[in-house]
Amino acid sequence: MCGIVAYVGPRDAQPILLDALSRLEYRGYDSAGLAILNGKGIEVRKKSGRIQELAKICLAEPVKGRLGISHTRWATHGAATDKNAHPHLDASGRLALVHNGVIENYLELKTKLMETGHIFLSETDTEILAHLVGEAFSSSREKGDARLVEAVRSAVQQIQGTLGIAVIHADMPGLIVGARRGSPLVIGVGEGENFLASDTQALAPYTNRVVILQDKEIVSLRADRFDVASPLGIRENVKVEEIEDGVAASDKGVHQHFMLKEIFEQPSAIQNAFRGRLDADGATAKLGGLNMSPQELRQIDRICVLGCGTALHAGMVGKYLIETLAKIPVETQHSSEFRYGDSPVSGRTLFFAVSQSGETADTLGALREARRRGFTVLGICNNVASTIARESDGGVYMHAGPEIGVAATKSFTSQLVIFTLIGLLLGRLRFLSAAHGRELLQAMENLPAQITQCLAYSDAIREIAQRYAHASSMLFLGRLANFPIALEGALKVKEITYIHAEGYPSAELKHGVIALIDKETPTVLLATQDGVYDKNLGNLQEIKARSGPIIAVAHDDDKKICTLADTVLKVPRTHELLQPILNIVPLQLLAYHIGVALGRDVDKPRNLAKSVTVE
């Protein structure tokens, strides 16, 4: 949540900052701003609304300078207004600061500062931090870069909460200071220029060489060098890593929105998820990144999956897959509930922390709590340089490529493929026969082509979406592994269309849910042919008897359901365990096309941010 970009080098900072911010707008888009050293002092431009609004005022009144910081905001403390936009200045007006995170003790700090004469212009917690750094700077006896570095260190020590910050001071030309605690921050290493950003995506056009700041580290950044310090002193032998080029991924290509582009990227994303991981000879999966021997994996007698939102839904499908293939009990928990709860956990439990970004605050906190208790935690994420990837004992990298749309699509199906691989690996270490393993491997290899078949129905789904776009509420029903697909389908509708939608197990229909059925409330019923197909048809009849419109997700050769449902979203047949991967695709397209029909900003839905890095 929120995005930071800073630049120091020989080029004009303003166009670089605006361009890089546009690549981070999925992290926050309530307001945006920048501050640039112009040779005389700090010049600030900030505006509520999207980055384009900031770009307009910068075009009308350009800021010249070769060093600057910038920010795109997702509001926490204070409304989305011009005055609450970052950057914020200190009392002297000569220091500017941008901040990701939440300062939990800001009221206490604000009261103390006001008692000593500080005046605040915004409702944000961030402005308090700017004043703290400014006060420490004015009283510091340090010389050179150390003066601003130590001022930042002093201020951060007074803060309770999370932060990723970038700070500049008019008295320290050529210097940017950054610090992180809980909120990600990376250094972009250029040729005679350097960058600071909350996400490598912002750096894609400028450099593919980065340094990942560790928790509680501070960086002093100049055009020709940088120094990284931890509470224990200067970090020696800083590792510069190369990241995958994300420029092409930042382009919508032929598609109207990133969300649609990423839905259509799912055949290749899924292939990337299993490429090199299928062992035909052993009829199993190869997952060396788990960092666990077969003997250690066989000793596991329970699994707990931690996640939030879409990642948790993937874990719920994973529960069904692992329990079916490996006969190991699996529970899923909201990361926040495990983090603060008192869940009893058996001694030989293996944890999976699932997060597309690898920076989800609650999941990271749950990971740390599980490791504190002495358990092994494996990560499933899409960013190999993320905090969860680095703090896990091992894991599986998704290889889905950057996901810009706020609504998770290709990352979800990639997570389902990874859980299938995990289930297959654990199953073959226990009771699953080689014949069943090969059957599943063959079905998995067919998935990319079958998802392409699902995508071919996009135009037909657009027509269906227009028919139901003005519903005020929708219900999604599914059984077994399709129950979490119902939850995910409902979540996509809520996120993208703002229509109220709920997902339930189909069998719960008679236990209260049926009271919501009427002719104005469409029900999406996941009814592909499996062991509970006839049960689902019974639910369909109960809904029809109460005049409820029915949209069925069904096999493309199912003639029977076409005579019963009002509308059918067609999917190909696959192995029953893999069917949920195909079934979600038409639901993603349905949500997308309804959102477009209603004029929603489907890539940046209201009140949402892509990466939830604060609690």
Catalytic sites, residue numbers: 2, 610
Q: Quote the tokens at residue 325.
A: 């293939």
Q: Quote the tokens at residue 540.
A: 């369909």
Among 165, 186, 202, 248, residue whose Cα is nearest residue 19: 202
Q: Which residues pair with 504 in a beta bridge?
A: 477
Q: Which residues pair with 323 in a beta bridge?
A: none
Query: Is the distance from CB of 156 to CB of 163 less than 8 angstroms?
Result: yes
Q: Quote the tokens at residue 308.
A: 């939030």
Query: Is the distance from CB of 176 to CB of 6 less than 8 angstroms?
Result: yes
Half-sphere exposure of 430 (CA within 13 A, CB side): 19
Query: Is the distance from CB of 536 to CB of 525 less than 8 angstroms?
Result: yes
Helix axes 310-326, 410-428, angle to 10 degrees: 20
- Cα–Cα distance between 349 and 363 in angstroms, integer? 17
Query: Is the distance from CB of 390 to CB of 241 less than 8 angstroms?
Result: no
Distance of CA 306 to the CA centre of its chain: 14
Coil, strand, or helix at residue 163?
strand
> How many beta carbons lie within 10 A of that of residue 456, not counting itself?
10
Token match 């004992």: residue? 393
Q: Quote the tokens at residue 342.
A: 């008192």
- Cα–Cα distance between 330 and 353 in angstroms, integer? 13
- Cα–Cα distance between 22 and 604 in angstroms, integer? 12
- Cα–Cα distance between 256 and 154 in angstroms, integer? 47
Q: How far apart are the first and last CA of the chain?
A: 10
Q: Quote the tokens at residue 386.
A: 């993320």
Query: Is the distance from CB of 262 to CB of 403 less than 8 angstroms?
Result: yes
Burial of residue 133 (CB within 10 Å: 0-12, 13-18, 19+) is buried
Distance of CA 546 to the CA centre of its chain: 39
Residues 6 or more apart whose Cβ sits within 8 Å of residue 146: none
Distance of CA 379 to the CA centre of its chain: 14
Longest dimension (CA), the chain: 82
DSSP symbols for 499-526: -EEEEEEGGGTTTTGGGG--TTS-EEEE
- Cα–Cα distance between 19 and 195 in angstroms, integer? 13
Residues 6 or more apart whose Cβ sits within 8 Å of residue 120: 110, 113, 114, 127, 128, 131
Query: Is the distance from CB of 17 to CB of 34 less than 8 angstroms?
Result: yes
